[in-house]
Amino acid sequence: MTATSFNPIQLQQNAINATNQPLTLKQGQVFHGTIKQLYPDQMAEIQVGNQKFIAKLEVPLKAGDAHFFQVTGTDPQTELKVVTGPMAQASSPNQQINQLLESMNLPKTTEMQQLLGHFMKEQLPISKEQLMQAEMWLKALPEGVSKADALQVIQKMVELKMPMTNDVFQALQSGQKTSGMTTTMDNFAQLLARDTALPEAIKQNLMQQLQAIAKPFEIETGSLILARAIQSLTNDAATMSEKMQALTVLKEAGIFPQQATLQNWTNSNDPKAAQPMQQAGQVVQTILASKPENASQLIEQLKTWTVNQNFLTNEQKQQVNQLIDRFSQLPVTKQTVEVFAKQMQEQLLKAFAQNTADRLFTQDTNALSVKDHLLSLFRQEVNSPLQNEAFMRNLVQKSIDSKQPFIQQIVTQADALVQNSMDSKAMEHALKTVLKNLGISYEATLASKSADLQMIAHQLKPQLHTLLQETSITPQMREAAEMLMTRMNGMQLSSGENGHQHQLVMQVPLEFFGKKMDATLQWNGRMKDDGKIDANYARVLFYLQMASMQETVIDMQVQNRVVTVTVFNENVDIQSLAEPLKVALKEGLAEKNYQLSGVFIKQFDKGQTEKISPVVEQREEQGGVDIRV
When pLDDT is cut at 50, 70 and 90, the band that residue 373 belongs to is very high
- Residue 82 is predicted with a pLDDT of 84
Question: Above 90 in pLDDT, residue 306?
Answer: yes
Q: What is the pTM of this model?
A: 0.71
Q: 150 in helix, strand or coil?
A: helix
If one compares 506 and 187, the residue with the highest pLDDT of the two is 187
> What confidence tier does 179 reach under pLDDT thresholds 50, 70, 90?
low
Whether residue 5 is predicted with pLDDT greater than 50 in this model: the reply is: no
Grade residue 87 by pLDDT with cuts at 50, 70 and 90: low
Phi, psi of 38 (to 5 degrees): -105, 145
Domain at 26-124, CATH class: mainly beta
Q: Residue 250, Cβ neighbours under 10 Å: how many?
A: 24
What is the per-residue pLDDT for 618?
33
Q: Which residue has the higher pLDDT, 508 or 178?
A: 508
Residue 126 clears pLDDT 70, i.e. is over it: yes
C-alpha 151/C-alpha 137 separation (Å) is: 10
pLDDT tens digit sequence for 537-565? 888 777 766 667 777 777 888 999 999 99
Residues 73/79, Cβ–Cβ less than 8 Å: yes
Instruction: Output the pLDDT for position 41.
Output: 82
For the chain, what percentages of helix, strand and coil (3-state, to nearest 5) are there? 50, 15, 30
pLDDT in tens, 221-265: 999 999 999 999 999 999 999 999 999 999 999 999 899 899 888
Q: Which helix (H) or strand (E) holds 326?
A: helix 314-328
The whole-number pLDDT of residue 477 equals: 93
The residue ranges of every structural domain in the chain are 26-124, 218-426
Q: How far is CA 340 from CA 271, 302, 326, 345, 534, in A?
A: 14, 12, 9, 9, 52
Share of the chain above pLDDT 90, in %: 29
Residues in the chain: 629
The pLDDT tens digits for 266-293 are 875 555 555 677 888 888 888 888 888 8
Q: Which of 280, 272, 451, 284 is nearest to 364 (CA)?
A: 280
Q: 571 or 399: which carries more pLDDT confidence?
A: 399
- Asked whether the beta carbons of 85 and 67 are under 8 A apart, the reply is yes
* Cα 591 from chain centroid (whole Å): 24
The burial class, CB within 10 Å (0-12 / 13-18 / 19+), for 597 is middle
Q: Any idea what the Cα angle at residue 279 is, between residues 276 and 282, rounded to 5°?
A: 55
Mean pLDDT of 602-629: 42
The per-residue pLDDT for range 23-40, each reduced to its tens digit, is 678 888 888 888 888 888
pLDDT at 343: 93
* Distance between CA atoms of residues 80 and 57, nearest Å: 5
**β-pair partners for 518:** 509
Q: What angle do CA 549, 214, 1 make, to 5 degrees?
A: 35
pLDDT of residue 274: 52
